[in-house]
Structure 1
Amino acid sequence: MENIVIGAGPAGRVGSIELGKLGEDTILIEKKHIAGTCLNEGCMVICALNNVVHHLNNNRKYANHGFLKGNIEVDYEALCEKIRETQRKLRYIEQKECEEVGNKVIFGEAKIDGDTVNVNGESFQYKNLLISTGGRPFIPDIKGSENGYISSNLLDLKEIPENVNIIGGGTIATEIANIFSGFKSNVNVFARSQFLKEVDASAKDYIMKNLLNNINVYENTDAEEIKKDSLITSKGEFEGITFICTGRVPNSEIAKDFLELNPDNSIKVNNMMETSKEHVYAAGDVTGGYKFTPVARMEGVTAARNMAGYSQIVDYKYIPESITLDMPVSFVKSNDKVETESIEIPGLAGPDSFWNILNGDTGYTKIDINKENRNVENVFSISPSSVDDVAYMTMLMTLGMDMEDFDEFLEIHPSTDAVSKIMKYMY
């Protein structure tokens, strides 16, 4: 009997590779495309489009400075085809990675029947089973929702729309709004409650004033009807196509009547990624919780090691997050409730920041320090290098280092030294 992994997104693919490395016979079953939402319709697509937007914005910035001339036109259909071409190459590479550790990859829709998995007319009895079937966009009960677009439709558009309406107030809504604004569409965002609730208030203020200032944001607004070329809301009707960005739900139907589910229909697991049935594990978005690629990978590896007999648990204390905008927004928050004091840095002259200095748009960083032990508790950073900075700071926080310990590191300049060293000097 083999280990069987259902779903080849970040959790399942990395989990299957870990099983292969540990010498475990493993079958990886994928319904559609290897690499899951991240590569095929999620963060990698967002990053690819944002790279182009960033290039356009830099061109406009340099033109305003007077040393770069000439207009750039975007062929959106050609851009999307190049993204698809890159996706195909990456899928091939990621499948080879799975096969090179001895895994068998099968494409087809899996069905679970007790201790057997059926796919493409074949039946496989499993030693251990890992369910990592991911999630999908949540479609709210709005009249005309079939006329709306979701994030997976970004590459289906033939041209850049003149007007775009976005329902939702979280990360995905913000990232799509930023992309179309960069392409010079007229963009409206409608949040049922508050916009960017997960972001620190002062960081949100900077984002609204400096990064999303060409976007109309309507808070406490209900979407009432989606038409093909307009959106009717509680604040009026707005022309344009409509994207629905209202969160995600787990693809847990495969486990219905087989495993215990949470109230939101995600698969219930413990901190070893074990489900309610012995020898059955689950990881990634299908378990609810943090819907981030690095978390899915961590959960997949944890499940794999436990399946192979190496006991391990997951630790969610520090989960770094980011929002992909023209200037990345990154943050990490401790789950501990302690008394802190804050350091605020107007901007950092780190990587890719030099030409922002002329406009005064170098970013914003806020760091919360534990008053008792001087440990860093929370970091909110908006800068061209914030993704690297916050990842580095998360590592130091996880290791329990205080600001005195940071002096032991000699960094490359300009890089993360702009955060840790300036923070130390300002404290």
Structure 2
Amino acid sequence: MHTVSTFHSAACVCARFAKSVRHQQGAVRHLTSVRAVSFDSAPVSQALRCHHPRRSPLSPAAALSPSGVANRAMASAAKDEKYDFDLFTIGGGTGGVRAARFASMDYGARVALCELPFSLVQTDTEGGLGGTCILRGCVPKKLLVYGGEFANEFKECEGYGWHIEGEITHDWKKLAERKAKQLRKLSDTYKGQLDKAGVHYIEGRATVKDKHTVSINGKDYTAKNILIATGGRALVPPIEGKELTIISDQVLDLPKKPERLAIVGGGYIAAEQACIYRNFGADVHMFFRGAHILGGFDPEAAKHTEGEFQRKGIQLKPDFSPVKVVKEKDGKLTMTAKNNKDEEITLDGIDYILMATGRKPATQGLGLDKLGVELDDKGGVKVDDFSQSNVDSIWAIGDVSNRIPLTPVARMEGTYFAQHLFGGVDIKPDYANVASVVFSSPQVAQVGVNEDKAVEEYGDVDIFTSTFSALKDSLTDNEGKGFIKVVVDAKTDKVLGIHLVGPEVAEILQGFAAAMKAGITKTQLNETVGIHPTSAEELTTLRSVTRKYRNKKEVKD
């Protein structure tokens, strides 16, 4: 399938790659034994892809070392032309698309990817390239966050001399239409990326027929390796009238702006949606089982956030869970909730009830159970450090593997999966110091461990905290306060955790998360010259210890 000139060009590349280790002849001999691979009408040389010096994850010396040879052998074993594909990816979200693109583009693997037809609300038969993050999570959520926060800007700008005459109105339909158009554009961009990478795209619902066969729309495809990247789905508790409620997919695609919204749950989805719709003027009520919201975040930061929510007018109902939902004659909903003391409260006149009560891995109906693939108690695929299941040809990344359900984590897992399986690199995801953010108003951001976990794990811990008012608010009526906490190992001076509450703290945290990844100490943080005037500089000015723990017990000076 190669022309003579193609052979000559490819041989030169491989020869240059091997020259530094005196193996030119071996490189040429290896090349002549490799045949081209075709993705539809685009032939691609495996030799050029696998051994291009700029793309190879191994240096020439490492590639020819004993371990490098073993890694290359493993990568070669991941491909087998007796199958239709070297890799078949089920799921077109961030992780699945990343894995498919890298396997094909960087390593010359023959790759196919399957995803359900496009829809902004996921069902058993509809989904769309981009997955949860692009179509019904991160991106549409952030667009609505931006939209709602304009209302606060309109109020606060008067403190700076601006005067807005007349009633400020909002066109919900226009926002919804423009948002939907942007999401479709992003989904189409994912399709373009797959095409450019030479990935064969198939639309439909996939099931795993056996350890090397995927069935879609009545047609079977064989693959040496199958990657499960189907993400997660919302969980709804079995209460009376649950069919009258909505989930996170739907709350991001409402046909009308609610006047009253009830939210069941206290996690990040609940907190974000509460602030979004409160900013748009809705009467928002949050019902949650625990004593506080944001159970996975630092308790002190979460408590501070609660105060900010209440200041905004969000009604918090701790320790209450719904038991019944009914639809009234006027079309409005009424929800009854009880606490563990059997006390009951009823809220009526509700436009929508959002069940933000958790998510579960989307493995149902894939056929994994018939293959003997081990699942955890939530239905997630159990995998090892390299994302491989107990069935050697089945792999899983992203939310479906039930590790850390964040888009950047799925992207990392997809990248490392491709590098390991097809690049022969002993690389595995590193889950230490993964930053996470709640895009509420104000935002909540954290990286590292919280105070309680630090004390339990390290024993001797120093806590530095501060509350502050943003300079921007000094000329407005905004009485909101920001919050900062730095958790430090008292023995080593290493920063163990950073927790922030305030406007745009997500942008602030990204840089400090990189510093923590590099092992920054409190002394180094203190020695960093801050940028003035900013909220971020507060992290460089904390000097007084708020609390000290020694041998896991708080001590007083």
Q: Is the 8 A contact 1:345 1:365 kept in 2?
A: yes
1:27 maps to which residue? 112
Q: Is the 8 A contact 1:175 1:324 kept in 2?
A: yes
Q: Quote how far apart the aligned CAs of 1:300 are.
A: 1.6
2:147 maps to which residue? 52
After TM superposition, list the pairs within 5 Å mapping 1:7-22 onto structure 2. 7-20=91-104, 21-22=106-107
Matched residue type, 2:465: E
Q: Is the 8 A contact 2:227 2:396 kept in 1?
A: yes
Q: Quote how far apart the aligned CAs of 1:265 are.
A: 1.3
1:215 maps to which residue? 314
Q: 2:101, 2:181 → 1: CA distance? A: 24
The answer to whether 1:137 aligns with 2:230 is: no
Q: Quote how far apart the aligned CAs of 1:248 are.
A: 0.3
The answer to whether 1:202 aligns with 2:300 is: yes
1:230 aligned counterpart, secondary structure = strand
Q: Quote how far apart the aligned CAs of 1:15 are.
A: 1.4
Q: 2:479, 2:537 → 1: CA distance? A: 17
Q: Is the 8 A contact 1:346 1:364 kept in 2?
A: yes
1:108 maps to which residue? 204
Distance 1:142 1:59, change over 3 A: same
Q: Is the 8 A contact 1:273 1:302 kept in 2?
A: no
Q: Quote how far apart the aligned CAs of 1:130 are.
A: 0.8
2:462 maps to which residue? 341
Tell me the alpha carbon deviations over residues 201-253 of structure 1, each in whole angstroms, 9 at most, x when there is no partner.
32223212224431111111120112231211123211202111100011112
Matched residue type, 1:95: K
Could you tell me which of 332, 336, 340 is aligned with 2:447? 332
Aligned CA RMSD, in angstroms, stands at 2.2
Q: Is the 8 A contact 1:347 1:363 kept in 2?
A: yes
Distance 1:283 1:415, change over 3 A: farther
Q: 1:298, 1:414 → 2: CA distance? A: 35
Q: 2:408, 2:197 → 1: CA distance? A: 21
Distance 1:396 1:3, change over 3 A: same
Q: 2:412, 2:482 → 1: CA distance? A: 30
TM-score, scaled to structure 2: 0.72
After TM superposition, list the pairs within 5 Å mapping 1:368-379 onto structure 2. 368-379=487-498
Distance 1:147 1:272, change over 3 A: same
Could you tell me which of 214, 228, 233 is aligned with 2:337? 233
1:36 maps to which residue? 131
Structure of higher CA gyration radius: 2
Q: Quote how far apart the aligned CAs of 1:66 are.
A: 5.0
1:146 aligned counterpart, secondary structure = helix
TM-score, scaled to structure 1: 0.92
Q: 2:406, 2:154 → 1: CA distance? A: 31
Q: 2:267, 2:113 → 1: CA distance? A: 32
Q: Is the 8 A contact 1:59 1:68 kept in 2?
A: no
1:281 maps to which residue? 395
Matched residue type, 2:294: L
Q: 1:356, 1:148 → 2: CA distance? A: 41
1:382 aligned counterpart, secondary structure = strand
1:184 aligned counterpart, secondary structure = coil
Q: Quote how far apart the aligned CAs of 1:35 are.
A: 0.9
The answer to whether 1:268 aligns with 2:382 is: yes
Matched residue type, 1:26: V
1:47 aligned counterpart, secondary structure = helix
Tell me the alpha carbon deviations over residues 348-400 of structure 1, each in whole angstroms, 9 at most, x when there is no partner.
75xxx524575453511111111111111111111223112222222211221
Distance 1:191 1:146, change over 3 A: same
Q: 1:190, 1:408 → 2: CA distance? A: 44
Q: 1:84, 1:331 → 2: CA distance? A: 30
1:389 maps to which residue? 508
Matched residue type, 2:435: P
Could you tell me which of 402, 405, 411 is aligned with 2:521? 402
2:300 aligned counterpart, secondary structure = helix
Q: 1:296, 1:143 → 2: CA distance? A: 35
Distance 1:233 1:416, change over 3 A: closer
Larger relative contact order, structure 1 or 2 (CA cutoff 8 Å, min sep 6): 1
Q: Number of aligned residue pairs: give it.
A: 423
The answer to whether 1:311 aligns with 2:426 is: yes
Matched residue type, 1:226: V
Unaligned runs of 5+ in 1: none
Bigger drift between 398-407 and 8-17 goes to 398-407
Distance 1:419 1:300, change over 3 A: farther
After TM superposition, list the pairs within 5 Å mapping 1:234-253 onto structure 2. 234=338, 235-239=344-348, 240=350, 241-253=352-364
Q: Is the 8 A contact 1:11 1:284 kept in 2?
A: yes
Tell me the alpha carbon deviations over residues 35-74 of structure 1, each in whole angstroms, 9 at most, x when there is no partner.
1011111121111111011111111122366533244212
Q: Is the 8 A contact 2:531 2:537 kept in 1?
A: no
Q: Quote how far apart the aligned CAs of 1:98 are.
A: 2.0
Q: Is the 8 A contact 1:2 1:25 kept in 2?
A: yes
Q: Quote how far apart the aligned CAs of 1:285 are.
A: 0.8
Could you tell me which of 180, 184, 203 is aligned with 1:84? 180
Q: Is the 8 A contact 2:232 2:362 kept in 1?
A: yes
Q: Is the 8 A contact 1:374 1:403 kept in 2?
A: yes
Tell me the alpha carbon deviations over residues 247-266 of structure 1, each in whole angstroms, 9 at most, x when there is no partner.
00111121222211112211
Distance 1:64 1:300, change over 3 A: same
Distance 1:319 1:304, change over 3 A: same
Tell me the alpha carbon deviations over residues 292-316 of structure 1, each in whole angstroms, 9 at most, x when there is no partner.
1111111222222222132211221
Q: Quote how far apart the aligned CAs of 1:200 are.
A: 2.1
Tell me the alpha carbon deviations over residues 146-173 of structure 1, each in whole angstroms, 9 at most, x when there is no partner.
0001111124422212111111111111
Q: 1:303, 1:414 → 2: CA distance? A: 43
Q: 2:519, 2:246 → 1: CA distance? A: 44
Q: 1:218, 1:65 → 2: CA distance? A: 36
Distance 1:314 1:92, change over 3 A: same
Q: Is the 8 A contact 2:527 2:540 kept in 1?
A: no
After TM superposition, list the pairs within 5 Å mapping 1:149-188 onto structure 2. 149-188=246-285
Q: 2:419, 2:111 → 1: CA distance? A: 13
Tell me the alpha carbon deviations over residues 335-356 of structure 1, each in whole angstroms, 9 at most, x when there is no partner.
761122111122375xxx5245
1:374 aligned counterpart, secondary structure = coil
2:548 maps to which residue? none
Identity of aligned residues (%): 25
